[in-house]
Structure 1
Amino acid sequence: KEMMEEIGIPLSMMPEKIVESTDIVGNLTKEAAVELGLSEGMPLIASGIDCGAANIGLGVFEPGVYAAAIGTSMCGALVSDKPVKGKNLIVWPYLYDAKKLSYYFAGGATAGAIVKWFRQTMCQFEVEVEKSGGKNAYDALNEQAETIPVGSEGLIVLPYFMGERSPVWDSDAKGTIVGLSLAHTKAHIYRAFLEAVAFSLRDAMEATGENLGESILLAGGVTKSKLWRQIFADVTGYPIVCPIHDVEANMGDVMLAGIGTGLLSYEDVKQWQVLDEKIMPNKQSHEKYNDYYKVYKSIYNNLKDDMKTLTRLSLENNANRLLQKTI
């Protein structure tokens, strides 16, 4: 009530009751049951947003675990039972045991999305080979990138292709490729895109602070690439552990529903997730990435004012074009 009064939002606009993610919040109506092909009266569980459910699906039910779900975008979060003095983080009650556990979250607006953009925009040859029954385009690009050394021989990409969320919080941030020369190839640029997402994860982790655990749980589409998994380990300096089956958010919802209805227990579901072997960071590669990471951070700080100017100029140009069409 005090918070609502302070920021000027009527209490009547808030839910009447705050519930746990495992609480039953209603039952399936007859109309919805017919449309969905399910049973009328089926209990409905509150659950939560996808990245939180993904953490549950990864088997995170205890504090002190850092997990990152990286698909189109990125969500990296520490589950903790103590306050985390991180900077520019999003903080939620965790989906499990919300009165005790909190979810300290940072994450990139574009992660796998920039690699998909690169494939679709710059890799027509590999895509055509795949369409004709040949090698998967991503596999072909990964094979090429494996031959490129750490740091892509002086290339750094800022993965801010749709602005950036936590911990940067800058809607004017731009995707940037720095260091291009005539010596660079498509494979160099592709590897630099993979490294950019790993740098973004490291930035999120550092914003969260220390005590992130002994290893990082990594899930999502990025885990399909053996090269990318190793890059994440080398850039962050942490061992990387991935699930064998990439179904985290869906599995998390099933776990929460089972616990909420009493059909499952915590002891049941914590055994469900099967994790792959740890991917250990290469010490020499990590030391090299430390130097590149410093440049990664410096580039944004040096260019952020120019990025804001580009946004303004772009908006002005678009407004002028619309005005001319109207006239």
Structure 2
Amino acid sequence: ALTGELAVNYSAAGNIGGVFDINAGTWSEELMASLGIPATMMPDRLVSANEIAGHITVEAALELGVAAGTPVIVGGVDVGAANVGMGVLEPGRYVAAIGTSMNAALVSEKPIKNKGLIVWPYPYKSRALNYNFSGSATAGGITKWFRDNFAEHELEMQRNGTGINAYAALGEQAKDIPAGSDGLIVLPYFMGERAPIWNSDAKGVIFGLSLAHRKAHVFHAFQEAVAYALRHSIELTGEDLGDYIVIAGGVTNSAEWVQMFADVTGYAVRTPIEDAEANLGDVILVGLATETLTLEDVKSWQVLGEKILPDPKRHERYNQYFTLYRKLYADLSEDMTILTQISNETI
């Protein structure tokens, strides 16, 4: 209606029901046929999000009150656009957006195949760059579950104004717990799991509980579980990620948690200065498409904070715990499926 043109950007196409062929760079006739989707339903024209898709028509201009001929771009999809907003315009940078769930991705020239990752064309330079990501079902969602079920006191203090935010209170209690939570490991599969293990039967596990553990230990272990999940996703890329990774989302409200991500992964971590990633990404894409911005302009913007460096001793300890984290799932995955079958049986 705006331009008289029908187009979709490549990254959005990659997100539409798995019918985009990442190898051919177009719709997969085979997959659409198997799903009963007529080819006529899909736009013939695919564009990068940094390309002009069309121009405002005279009719649309009269209705909207903008100038006819104004260029229009098809914005990037969600986290892809957010990566652009964090200054990722070249391959080799790894960004994790961690809120209720986690989307952790590496931008690369070649798609990373057969590793359990989801692959889309990247919004910027879609014909040349790929967005390889792990979409974990729960991340901050498990700490919310913990807060809601085991932090009634902290929540009440928050609600009546006599205490700080409940998450901050739990973090304060846990800040001096050592790496590994004195022998606790949590598997964060509280809603099954998407990438990287692709198992709807996967279950949450708290392993190693003893009478010596307190609530703070368990909360700390929940935080570590999210960091282990991120490291698992990172290792599937099989790539050297350079001198730092980027972490965005609600987890960055906790300096201790950000430090934990660095210690677990072994990478320095940088976080956005302001929470405007996806919106800023679309602004950048518009600017590049219309040539009102240059790459040099964008690269000069300071959108990330300073590096948070990993502590070598804690990283060494986390290497041991992470090995056991991976082994635990391998050992229990069959039992998780059996548990699903038993719990679904009608008595």
- Fold shared per TM-score above 0.5: yes
Which of 261, 274, 292 is residue 321 of structure 2 equivalent to? Answer: 292
Q: Cα distance, 1:171 vs. partner?
A: 1.2
SS state at 1:8 partner? helix
Which of 90, 101, 110 is residue 62 of structure 1 equivalent to? Answer: 90
Which of 70, 73, 76 is residue 104 of structure 2 equivalent to? Answer: 76
Q: Cα distance, 1:91 vs. partner?
A: 1.4
1:100 partner letter: A
**Equivalence map 1:124-143=2 (5 Å):** 124-133=152-161, 134-143=163-172
Residue in 2 that maps onto 1:282: 311
Query: Residues of 1 paired with 2:244 and 2:343: CA distance?
Result: 43
| 1:22 and 2:57 correspond | no
Residue in 2 that maps onto 1:265: 294
1:193 partner letter: F
| 1:4 and 2:29 correspond | yes
| 1:108 and 2:133 correspond | no
Q: Cα distance, 1:190 vs. partner?
A: 0.5
Query: Residues of 2 paired with 1:119 and 1:33: CA distance?
Result: 50
Deviations 1:226-264 (A, max 9, x none): 110111011001111111112212211221223233333
Q: Cα distance, 1:50 vs. partner?
A: 1.1
**Equivalence map 1:1-327=2 (5 Å):** 3-5=28-30, 8-9=33-34, 10-25=38-53, 39=66, 43-84=71-112, 87-133=115-161, 134-317=163-346
2:92 partner letter: G
Equivalent residues of 1:85, 1:208 under 8 A apart:
no
Query: Residues of 2 paired with 1:307 and 1:139: CA distance?
Result: 33
Q: Cα distance, 1:107 vs. partner?
A: 2.9
Distance 1:235 1:11, change over 3 A: same
Distance 1:22 1:177, change over 3 A: same
Structure with the larger RCO, 1 or 2 (CA within 8 Å, 6+ apart): 1
Query: Residues of 1 paired with 2:148 and 2:60: CA distance?
Result: 39
- Percent of residue pairs identical: 56
Distance 1:263 1:291, change over 3 A: same
Residue in 2 that maps onto 1:325: none
Please list every run of 5 or more consecutive structure 1 residues that lacks an aligned counterpart in the other structure: 321-327
Query: Residues of 1 paired with 2:151 and 2:315: CA distance?
Result: 29
Query: Residues of 2 paired with 1:6 and 1:135: CA distance?
Result: 52
Query: Residues of 2 paired with 1:2 and 1:91: CA distance?
Result: 14
Please list every run of 5 or more consecutive structure 2 residues that lacks an aligned counterpart in the other structure: 1-25
- Which range moves more in the overlay, 308-317 or 131-140? 308-317
Q: Cα distance, 1:46 vs. partner?
A: 1.4
Query: Residues of 2 paired with 1:33 and 1:171: CA distance?
Result: 48
Distance 1:157 1:29, change over 3 A: farther
Q: Cα distance, 1:29 vs. partner?
A: 9.2
Equivalent residues of 1:86, 1:208 under 8 A apart:
no
Query: Residues of 2 paired with 1:206 and 1:286: CA distance?
Result: 15
Q: Cα distance, 1:97 vs. partner?
A: 1.0
SS state at 2:155 partner? helix
The CA RMSD over aligned residues, in Å, is 2.6
Size of the alignment, in residue pairs?
A: 317
Distance 1:122 1:44, change over 3 A: farther
Equivalent residues of 1:74, 1:109 under 8 A apart:
yes
1:316 partner letter: E
Normalised TM-score (structure 2): 0.84
Query: Residues of 2 paired with 1:90 and 1:136: CA distance?
Result: 35
Query: Residues of 2 paired with 1:215 and 1:146: CA distance?
Result: 24
